[in-house]
Amino acid sequence: MRTSGVRFSIAGHAAWAPGLTTDDDWALWAQAPYAIGPGADPAVRQMPAMLRRRAGLLGKMALEVAYQCLDGRSDVPTVFCSRHGETARAVELLADLAHGEPLSPTAFSMAVHNASAGLFSIARADRANHIALAAGTATIEHAVIEACGLLADGAPMVLLVACDCPLPPLFAAFDDSHEQPHAWAWLMVPAGGDGDSDSDNTTLALHWAPDAAGVDEAPGSDRPGGLEVLRFYASGASALERVAARRRWRWSRDA
């Protein structure tokens, strides 16, 4: 695997947000993006209710797309990524501490960054490797690099799950990307690999270099990185360039 770029193919995908549940929904959104607002939680019907009830909106969105994308496959390593994770749940726990109230063990266990990945593996009795990752404004890019590292180490396919939710009002002053509720998943295979007969046959490349200006984010960037990358994929665009974490990231689609 090169140190300045990676290539991979997508053998399957899924995406979910309030009001956006089908490929057609996302294709229309990609042509004219709008702010995604709150709505009903996904059903996550494939997960036993006892486990499903532990998850909040963020976890349920991640689990919904993970189940859809993996489609019954097992022993597939997973990379779950979220810039902010369960921030709302963490704030509630800290407020309880400040008021001297006892903490809910369930809420505490579900506030950690790998909670959704853990629920997913428990529900499916699947011991495949899973990783939970956060890397600031370049979370998506670093998650893809991590997944490609697993492919380079010999994994035939890797499930990538990306999700995020709006920050709690307490952090409104720090919200630099107008975060919106969404989750999406890619079943990644080595570039040019079919994965299986249902492969999307889409090959993407990601290259990066230091940004000459040394900025953390390109001026005017107000859409979350996860949604920017999802729009690039869903719209069929040939390329996307983002500046994040003092690097210039260039996504491209192989012809």
Residue 146 has pLDDT above 80, yes or no: yes
Q: 157-176 pLDDT, tens per residue?
A: 999 999 999 999 888 888 88
What percentage of residues in the chain have a pLDDT greater than 70? 92
Question: CA separation (Å) from 234 to 32, 171, 196?
Answer: 12, 30, 21
Return the bridge partners of 6, or none.
206
**HSE-up of 32 (CA within 13 Å, CB side)?**
1
User: Which whole number is the average pLDDT over 243-255?
Assistant: 90
Rounded alpha-carbon distances, angstroms, from residue 68 to 46, 53, 209, 215, 253 = 9, 19, 34, 37, 23
Q: Specify whether the CB–CB gap between 187 and 79 falls below 8 A.
A: no
Q: Is the pLDDT reported for residue 90 higher than 90?
A: no
pLDDT digits (tens, 9 = 90+) for 23-60: 999 999 999 999 999 988 999 999 999 999 999 999 99
> Which secondary-structure segment (H or E) carries 139?
helix 139-152
pLDDT of residue 1: 46
Q: Is the pLDDT of residue 6 over 70?
A: yes
Q: Distance of alpha carbon 235 from its chain centroid, rounded? A: 18
Average pLDDT over residues 102-116: 86
- Who wins on pLDDT, 222 or 40? 40
- Residue 217's pLDDT is 57
Give the model's confidence band at 194: pLDDT under 50 very low, under 70 low, under 90 confident, else very high.
low
Distance CA 22, CA 156 (A): 27
- Paired with 16 in beta bridges are 183
Q: What's the sign of the alpha-carbon dihedral 110, 115, 116, 121?
A: negative
Mean pLDDT to the nearest integer, 211-221 = 59
Per-residue b/e over 177-206, b at no fewer than 16 CB within 10 Å?
Answer: bebbbbbbbbbbbbeebebeeeeeeebbeb
As a dihedral over the C-alpha atoms of residue 11, residue 17, residue 23, residue 24, rounded to 10 degrees, the angle is: -170
What does the block give as tokens for 241?
């360039």
User: CA angle at residue 199 from 194 to 204, to 5 degrees?
Assistant: 80
Question: CATH classification of 5-253, choosing from 3.20.20.80, 3.30.590.10, 3.90.700.10, 3.40.47.10?
Answer: 3.40.47.10
Among candidate residues 168, 181, 46, 56, the one with its CA nearest the CA of residue 109: 56
Where in the chain are the domains?
5-253
Structure tokens at 190: 């080595």
What is this structure's pTM? 0.91
pLDDT of residue 152: 95
Nearest of 232, 88, 223, 73 to residue 159 by alpha carbon: 73
Query: In this predicted structure, what is the pLDDT of residue 248?
Result: 94
Q: How far is 139 from 242, CA to CA, in rounded Å? A: 12
Q: pLDDT confidence of 212, banded at 50, 70, 90?
A: confident
**What confidence category does residue 199 fall into, taking pLDDT thresholds of 50, 70 and 90?**
low
Residue 229 has pLDDT above 80, yes or no: yes
What was the pLDDT predicted at 70? 95
As a 3-state breakdown, the chain gives helix, strand, coil percent values, each rounded to 5, of 35, 25, 40
Q: What pLDDT was estimated at residue 170? A: 87
For residue 255, what pLDDT is reported?
Answer: 55
Q: Looking at residue 221, what is its pLDDT?
A: 53
Read off the pLDDT band of 197 (50, 70, 90). very low
pLDDT at 219: 45
